[in-house]
Amino acid sequence: MSELTTTPPLTKLSEEEELFRDTVRDFAERDVKPRVGAMERSCAMDPALLKRCFEIGLMGIETPEEHGGAGGSLLMTVLAVEELSAVDASVAIFVDVQNTLVNNLLLKWGSADLKRRYLSRLATDLLGAYALSEPESGSDAFGLQTRATLRGSKWVLEGRKLWITNGAEAGLFIIFANVDFSRGYKGITAFALERGVQGFAVGKKEDKLGIRASSTCELILDGCQVAATDVVGEVGQGYKVAIETLNTGRIGIGAQMIGVARGALQAALKYVKERQQFGRAIAQFQAVQFQLAQAATELEAARLMVYNAARLEDAGEPYTMQAAMAKLFSSQVAERVTSLCVELFGGYGYTKEYPVEKFYRDAKIGTIYEGTSNMQLNTIAKQLLK
């Protein structure tokens, strides 16, 4: 095992966690890696691969065993996302969104009825999506304009969602809408909506710079009807549901970014030992060695921050600031490390013949989704000044 993947003493894993991590690593190398090129070119997830993610228990990691899940921890989800991202960030985000945003939300906020209806399916064959963002509501998430109106015993949803990960494949959507705009963000409510409901449609699929096999779609809500029992949490409490869920989701994105950076750095470490210039391998030049050392140091620091944030949440301790810090720093590190790796490959790094250009493209989204870097800084500052 290389130094990059050796867990340091401070973050020593249990035997169960190590076994789980190694199982995911083997899956990523054996099943995911051979499909990466084809999925990248087609901009679509291989359905057989998604099925395998369910079969080996990656889509319900923290879901209790009585609901068909693995009964694991957030740290285990982090380990899975990191290992998958070191091979393909698109597959990793399928697993990440399912666990940190959809399953996690239902576990914390769902009624007994919603848990009964959906958790076991989400662990076995149902993909979920989290629908908060809108065309005019990105960082200002609580400025959303999707409306929910109570008509008789049904809520009627009208509006448009944008940038929804897993939108093309998901069968269950967590939709955020405002039931009373006069109350501002205190009117926001979360609803569980199944695909196929009349008035619901998946719109444009975005053609993206990176994570191209992961679908990012528009959702159109044109008079969709959902029952009162489909409310997640309480009416008017959707802002709390969104905030707390995104705090967890940021740890997952941190895991994705350290995986992306690790994958690129591992590729570069191999290449610099092979590439000859001026009569010797470029790994023998001190300037190259120092750049690699700096990159590995920053990656290890980012990993420690992500693992720490996950363990804080698992322990029931406050973790909001640590999650924001982990997401902020790991996404910055991923940009720097992948950029360096492209440069170390020289002209080849700019071609699709080698893997680092994909890692470089996949890294950029880390500073944008589930809260931009500026929003993470805002969260950290507020926590510091409380």
- Residue 379 to residue 386: CA distance in whole angstroms: 11
Pairing, β 172-178 against β 128-131: parallel
pLDDT tops 70 at residue 300:
yes
Kindly state which CATH superfamily the domain 129-235 is placed in.
Answer: Butyryl-CoA Dehydrogenase, subunit A, domain 2 (2.40.110.10)
Does 3-126 carry CATH code 1.10.540.10? yes
* Catalytic residue chosen out of the listed positions 313, 335, 357, 370: 370
pLDDT at residue number 12 = 83
Which amino acid does the sequence have at 56? I
CATH number of 239-384: 1.20.140.10
**Once rounded to an integer, what is the mean pLDDT over residues 60-89?**
98
Q: Which residue has the tokens 């444009």?
A: 204
C-alpha 128, offset from chain centre = 13
Residues 194-217 have a mean pLDDT of 98
In this structure, what is the dihedral angle of CA atoms 331, 5, 22, 42, given to the nearest 10 degrees?
40
- pLDDT for position 171: 98
Task: Say how far apart CA 184 and CA 177 lie, in whole Å.
Answer: 11
Domain residue extents for the chain: 3-126, 129-235, 239-384
Q: How many CB atoms lie within 10 A of CB 94?
A: 27
Q: Which amino acid is at 184?
A: G
Mean pLDDT along residues 13-25: 96
SS3 110: coil
Nearest of 41, 2, 18, 130 to residue 358 by alpha carbon: 41
What is the per-residue pLDDT for 7? 41
Q: Is 370 among the residues known to form the active site?
A: yes
pLDDT band per the 50, 70, 90 thresholds, residue 1: very low
